[in-house]
Chain A
């Protein structure tokens, strides 16, 4: 700092008159002594403080290291046996990034694998409230459940909330038991591929798209022109194949003959009670009933300890991500996205 404006500082007239004139140093020979005594006491207290702090630190270090970050996520509060609950809400799709806080199919599949591998988790409940989603994303979760079941032999229970249709049911078909409300909307076993056609609109506004392609099917599903007959046949073949995969998954999961499943799988929706009559659901009940059932199947009895798959930090990041992406316009962009995709999804919602 610059030593400046010093001329004013030494002006004795401008300086306030001290109330009492300070006593010259010579008149107070004890001041230095007192300072030394205080310094000595300070040094003593510092030494004592260091001893106390070191002892406290040593005691802390000898304690078992339970300050694990996983404790913060609520995933490992105790080693007592428990049932894990994994929520599966909303449309199922592959996340647009690898962020752990995204609720994409890969993150859900990873959670299923992680929780199933935990010793204290004896059973897993999938809390489903979903109208389904893209074929690939649904099958990723389905596959994760089958692998976890094969590796750990732990029971999986699906619990249906308001809606668990199409892809939501596909995922549930991999579980050992399905618990549903009587009024849950379920079923909708089938595949859908929808393409919007903006040809007329584009003509009206004078917009024309030119496509240069390597093969005749390269721009299949393009919204700028009418679909050709060959394309329709090709897409129908794809749909049939995906439908067959769905029916097989239901048939294997529910232990029903394929023909019987096909009778139910014309895309219709069912209430929970109708689905139970059709053997698509095992039991009527709510989330607690599903947890109780999972506890029984996991050998830990009714009303077990529940490990909730919710990480407060990841939830906050997820919230921030969804709010800050395009300043909140991300959901609008997703809603009006016109890219066609193959989906196990019910569009009644």
Chain B
């Protein structure tokens, strides 16, 4: 099954995600989703000169995206498992890859943002929210949970990371103050 057919199947018949046998081509589709999503993100960031050029730079971003999503999928699965909802962690990881296709939207958005036609940051956030929404839908497909619980589980790792960054930031500030005084 080619990429388009596999993706079409996920879009048109999402119930196949929880079928006993994993949908054909789903693994490849998910991983390519990460690749193309990261490519979109990378090109967008390159247009704003936010990342260095080169294959190595793209490789680093892709590795970061894969690692982050691996962490997200595993922590969501752990949360679901602790709260009694059963599902497949590997399918969740691949499904998140499928949701990353939305990041391809960042390329034209970056163009328009560069032309000052639209607010780059706002649209970047909206694109991010679309990905989150897709992930919530996918989590609901893969685990028998309510929308609220799916929303909570998807936001939980992000919130955890934000908390860690916030604590590190506050600690750094306190440390700088200690250095100066």
Q: Report which A residues bind B (CB closer than 8 A).
A: 1-11, 14-16, 18, 22-25, 28, 31-32, 35-36, 38-39, 41-42, 45-46, 48-50, 52-53, 56-57, 319-320, 323
**What are 25 A-B contacts defined by CB distance under 8 Å?**
A1-B70, A1-B73, A5-B81, A5-B88, A8-B144, A9-B18, A9-B86, A9-B144, A14-B86, A16-B145, A24-B12, A31-B8, A42-B104, A45-B107, A46-B39, A46-B43, A46-B107, A49-B43, A49-B47, A49-B111, A53-B43, A53-B46, A53-B47, A319-B180, A323-B178
Excluding A3-B89, A25-B9, 12 further A-B contacts by CB distance (< 8 Å) are: A6-B88, A9-B144, A15-B18, A16-B145, A18-B15, A24-B12, A25-B8, A31-B8, A41-B108, A46-B39, A57-B53, A319-B179
Q: Which residues of A contact B138 (CB under 8 A)?
A: none
A contact face: mostly helix, strand, loop, or mixed = helix
Asked, given contacts A16-B140, A32-B4, whether A22 binds B15 with beta carbons under 8 Å apart, the answer is yes
Q: Which residues of B contact A11 (CB under 8 A)?
A: 86, 144
- Chain B residues 1-51 with CB under 8 Å of chain A are 4-5, 7-9, 11-15, 18-20, 22, 36, 39-40, 43, 46-47, 49
Size band of the interface chain B makes with A: 35 or more
Q: Which residues of A contact B88 (CB under 8 A)?
A: 3-6, 9
Q: Report which B residues bind A (CB closer than 8 A).
A: 4-5, 7-9, 11-15, 18-20, 22, 36, 39-40, 43, 46-47, 49, 53, 70, 73-74, 81, 85-91, 93, 104, 107-108, 110-111, 140, 142-146, 178-180
Q: How far is the CB of B83 from chain A (nearest CB, A)?
A: 12
Q: Are A3 and B90 in contact (CB under 8 A)?
A: yes
- Cα A36 to Cα B8 in complex, Å, equals 10
- Cα A56 to Cα B93 in complex, Å, equals 36
With a 10 A CB-CB cut-off, give which of B14, B18, B49, B74 has the most chain A CB atoms.
Answer: B18
